[in-house]
């Protein structure tokens, strides 16, 4: 038994299919549109890459890197403003986030011991405790500062170009301890 579609059925079905296709396209575009606070900091920001960070199998956070071109290369480009948005998957204390950041900066051999102590104190006063779903966004302001947002609202900044370079190196330096995440953020397989 063959089924034939009537013209009337096609007149209804085709617009519905087109509407569904448009909705899927809009949803896909919405998921790659920068949040408002990132767009204000980086006009025409494009999602460059994203990935998850796990520690001994525990999901700690998801990360997304935003840049103007979507082709930021940390080893070649020190003048582009970028945003690194972390969405936490669990509860963590702000002091622990600051301490873990300094440990990673020290592993990369960046800054002096004195500077790292100062940076640690600044981060401890700035970073809040987080829980599942909390966003902390870091904005790299070339040759000036690192600016931080909590769920889209300005937390503050650390006005120290060397700190800004060291902080973003945690994820983007070639020697990062999170190579897989770095590759995903940069949208590459081994830059």
Span 140-187, pLDDT tens digits: 999 999 999 999 999 999 999 999 999 999 999 999 999 999 999 998
Q: Does residue 50 belong to any structural domain of this protein?
A: yes
Q: Does residue 59 belong to any structural domain of this protein?
A: yes
CATH assignment at residue 57? 3.50.70.10
Give how many domains the chain has, as a whole number: 1
Q: Does residue 11 belong to any structural domain of this protein?
A: no
Confidence of residue 8 (pLDDT cuts 50, 70, 90): low
74: containing domain: 34-185
Contact yes or no for 13/129 (Cβ under 8 A): no
pTM of the model: 0.81
Sheet of strand 46-55, all strands in order from the earlier edge strand to the far edge: 46-55, 58-67, 82-88, 135-141, 145-150, 153-158
pLDDT digits (tens, 9 = 90+) for 117-142: 999 999 999 999 999 999 999 999 99
Contacts 24+ apart (CB under 8 A), 111-116: 111/162, 111/163, 111/166, 115/162, 115/163
Confidence of residue 31 (pLDDT cuts 50, 70, 90): low
Residues 6+ apart with CB under 8 A from 120: 98, 99, 102
Q: Does residue 28 belong to any structural domain of this protein?
A: no
Q: Does residue 16 belong to any structural domain of this protein?
A: no
Q: Does residue 126 belong to any structural domain of this protein?
A: yes
């Amino acid at each position: 038994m063959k089924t034939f579609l009537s013209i009337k059925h096609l007149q209804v079905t085709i617009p519905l299919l087109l509407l569904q296709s448009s909705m899927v396209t809009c949803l896909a575009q919405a998921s790659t549109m920068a949040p408002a606070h990132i767009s204000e900091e980086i006009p025409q920001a494009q999602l460059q890459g994203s990935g998850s960070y796990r520690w001994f199998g525990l999901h700690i956070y998801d990360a997304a890197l935003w840049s103007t071109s979507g082709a930021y290369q940390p080893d070649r480009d020190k003048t582009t403003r970028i945003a690194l948005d972390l969405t936490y998957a669990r509860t963590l204390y702000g002091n622990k986030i600051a301490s873990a950041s300094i440990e990673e900066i020290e592993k990369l051999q960046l800054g002096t011991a004195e500077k790292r102590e100062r940076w640690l104190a600044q981060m401890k006063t700035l970073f809040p405790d987080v829980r599942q779903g909390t966003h902390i966004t870091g904005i790299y302001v070339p040759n000036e500062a690192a600016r931080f947002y909590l769920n889209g609202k300005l937390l503050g900044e650390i006005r120290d170009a060397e700190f800004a370079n060291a902080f973003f190196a945690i994820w983007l330096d070639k020697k990062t301890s999170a190579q897989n995440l770095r590759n995903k953020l940069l949208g590459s397989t081994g830059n």
